[in-house]
Amino acid sequence: MNNLAERVLMKGNEALAEAAIKSGCRHFFGYPITPQTEVAAYMAKRMPKIGGTYLQAESEIAAINMVLGAASAGVRVMTSSSSPGISLKTEGISYIAGSDLPCLIINVQRGGPGLGGIQPSQADYWQATRATGHGDFHILVFAPATIQEMVDLVYTAYDKADEYRMPAMILADGMLGQMMEPVEFPEKEAERKIEKPWATTGHQNKRVHNITNSLYLDPNELEQKVVERFKRYEIIKEKEPMAEEYLVEDADIVLVSFGATARIVKSAVNSARAMGIKAGMIRPITLWPFPEKAMQKAAKTASCFLSVEMSMGQMVDDVRLAVNGEKPVYFFGRTGGIIPSPAEVLGEIQKIMGGAK
Amino acid sequence: MIDSVKRITIVTGHYGSGKTNFAVNLAVDLCREGKQVVLVDLDIVNPYFRSADFKPQLTEMGIEMICPIYANTNLDIPALGADIYSVFNENDGRYIIFDVGGDDAGAAALGRYAHLIQQEEFDMLYVVNRYRYLTRHPQEALEILREIEATSRVPVTGIVNNSNLGSQTTAQDIENAIGYGLDVAALAGVPVRTVTARRDLASQMTSHPVYPVDIYVLPPWEK
């Protein structure tokens, strides 16, 4: 972020779209929904100018199956939606995961359940990390907190999706999608080309057919496929967790928070410090794989944890699993599209630490 | 800026150019001058960051607000109320500011009032920000300006150079964008009506007169 001339002011949704284009994505299939519509609108404007494909499908289900098709051909492809639309896409996501195909899915979350609302939310955490469809599988889930990080994580998500042959998701929220911040687009240095010998690009009588498929009627073969996939997940869990740690080293209370909420929490942590309360924050950047080790390390020194989310408490489950009973884990959240205020979070810190002192 | 405001001011521009923030500043400043002000939220395109968000504080100051009937409610219907017609009366004495939605899509809502607007003197201001991704070049900004004019059937009369990088803006950033504003104006054949600068930066701007603005549109952690 040092070259001022290169910085531009962008909405989160626009930045996601442009970052995908810069990452080599030339195929976008989607269906409009607030608060992510600018992703599609931006793609509709840009794709025809750069020889790409923008297609507004007849439904979310159609869109995700187009992604399945494009991913089979080995191209970088993306779809984007908001919560209810992602629910519609889950069948296709499961097929893509079951076919070992890379793609990028954007979820700019809004309040739920059902049609819910159009204001920011993080209530799709469970869906993103546990069940983006039926069957035994995971997808990579990245949670940016700034517009610049949205850009950076789109690059990373594409690379990791290709490397591990699996779908990746950017889990954002309506606040990040709609707000504007200065960003810079790193020019990709000689792109680390990931070969895709499995892609269905036409054999031209020079090789055997490539087949992408998630149907295995022989249970032995299916079990073997799933077990192989889970071996890959173990490598990912070892190598890929990402988290930001803020004033954790000497913290008595460690707040855990992701996405836009983490910025509110950071502001509350600063206020708590100013009052003499040793607060810190761990911000998971990857939600799957969850940065368990960062939690476990903090559990050795901190006296308690407080997970703050725009939901009734979902990531707090992963914090509890990681901390494994070593220290108390508290929760504070607002839901339905309400964004917690820094003052509310500070109030929770005071409530907990007042009792603990 | 404030001395030359016409009775009707329409604020248009690219998505995220800072239309709402500029419109709210104008309304507040006119109100502080003792004028009767009506702020009309005409944005039926984007439900986020809109004039209607500031209704309680603006109404308390004495600014009258007309918002899309269902703005910020459970009904997602882009309906504009009949009360908007009440502002088109030359002898009314109130100052009217229209905060229009982004791009030509947002400007479409303006079209039905085009004939009424042009019955008297008005300003149709086109807000530009040199640092917005798709309007970095004057030619790109001009394209959107022309699309807005075509859709709304109201001609742009002036440019508001609102170039900024959000909370990271420096006085230098604003200086560096002055030429850009002039280029857009020259291409469009209209004057630059004003250059805005966040109030704390305005004092550092020595080479060029600026219109100091307060930032109303903020994310929750900066409030």
Tokens, residue A344: 């509310």
pLDDT number for residue A3? 41
Q: Of the given ranges (A4-18, A27-41, A207-221, A225-239), which has the lowest mean pLDDT?
A: A4-18
- The CATH number of the domain holding residue B158 is 3.40.50.300
Comparing A40 with B44, the larger pLDDT belongs to: A40
Same domain, A301 and A225: no
CA nearest A11 in B: which residue?
B16
Residues of A whose CB is below 8 A from B46: 178
Q: State how many domains chain A has.
A: 2
CA nearest A266 in B: which residue?
B221
Q: What would the pLDDT profile of A166-177 be if each residue is shown by its tens digit? A: 999 999 999 999
- The CATH number of the domain holding residue A335 is 3.40.50.920
Q: Interhelix angle for B138-152 vs B178-188, to 10°?
A: 50
Boundary residue ending a domain (A198, A224, A239):
A239
pLDDT number for residue A250? 97
DSSP B21-63: HHHHHHHHHHHHTT--EEEEEE--S--SS-GGGGHHHHHHHT-
Q: What would the pLDDT profile of B101-134 be if each residue is shown by its tens digit? A: 999 989 999 999 999 999 999 999 999 999 998 8
C-alpha dihedral, A69 to A70 to A74 to A80, nearest 10°: -120
Determine contact: A283 vs chain B, CB below 8 A.
Answer: no
Q: A9–B16: do the CB atoms touch at under 8 Å?
A: yes
CA nearest B128 in A: which residue?
A9
Cis check for the bond before B219: say yes or no (omega within 30 of 0): no
DSSP A33-91: -TTSHHHHHHHHHHGGGGT-EEEE-SSHHHHHHHHHHHHHTT--EEEEE-HHHHHHHHH
* Whole-number Cα distances in Å, A86 to A69, A151, A215, A306: 18, 21, 22, 28
Q: What would the pLDDT profile of A185-219 be if each residue is shown by its tens digit? A: 987 655 567 899 999 999 999 999 999 999 999 99
Instruction: In chain B, count H helices and then E strands.
Output: 8, 8
Q: A179–B221: do the CB atoms touch at under 8 Å?
A: no
Q: Calculate how close chain A gets to B151, using CA atoms only, in Å.
A: 18
Q: A7–B15: do the CB atoms touch at under 8 Å?
A: no
Q: Confirm if A100 and A61 have CB atoms less than 8 A apart.
A: no
Cβ burial of B43 (10 Å; 0-12, 13-18, 19+) is buried
Determine contact: B220 vs chain A, CB below 8 A.
Answer: yes
Q: A9–B134: do the CB atoms touch at under 8 Å?
A: no
CA nearest B132 in A: which residue?
A9
Same domain, A94 and A218: yes
Same domain, A190 and A203: yes
Same domain, A128 and A212: yes
Determine contact: B165 vs chain A, CB below 8 A.
Answer: yes
Q: State how many domains chain B has.
A: 1
Determine contact: A9 vs chain B, CB below 8 A.
Answer: yes
- Chains A, B: CB contacts within 8 A come to 59
Same domain, A81 and A182: yes
Between CA A347 and CA A354, with CA A353 as vertex, the angle to 5 degrees is 80
Q: Interhelix angle for A12-22 vs A147-164, to 10°?
A: 40
Partner residue facing B129 (CB), from A9, A260, A341: A9
Rounded CA gap, A108 and A336, in Å? 14
Determine contact: B45 vs chain A, CB below 8 A.
Answer: no
Q: Calculate how close chain B gets to A40, using CA atoms only, in Å.
A: 14
Determine contact: B48 vs chain A, CB below 8 A.
Answer: yes
Determine contact: A341 vs chain B, CB below 8 A.
Answer: yes
Q: B221–A342: do the CB atoms touch at under 8 Å?
A: yes
Partner residue facing A8 (CB), from B47, B136, B221: B136
User: Residue A355: pLDDT band by 50, 70, 90 thresholds?
Assistant: low
C-alpha dihedral, A140 to A341 to A10 to B124, nearest 10°: 150
> In terms of residue numbers, what domain contains A319?
244-356
> In terms of residue numbers, what domain contains B25?
2-222
Rounded CA gap, B18 and A189, in Å? 34
Q: What would the pLDDT profile of A274-301 be if each residue is shown by its tens digit? A: 999 999 999 999 999 999 999 999 999 9
Q: B220–A178: do the CB atoms touch at under 8 Å?
A: no
- The CATH number of the domain holding residue A216 is 3.40.50.970
Boundary residue ending a domain (A239, A255, A287):
A239
A8-11 and A180-183 as β-strands: parallel, antiparallel, unpaired? antiparallel
Between CA A95 and CA A101, with CA A97 as vertex, the angle to 5 degrees is 100
Boundary residue ending a domain (A239, A258, A277):
A239
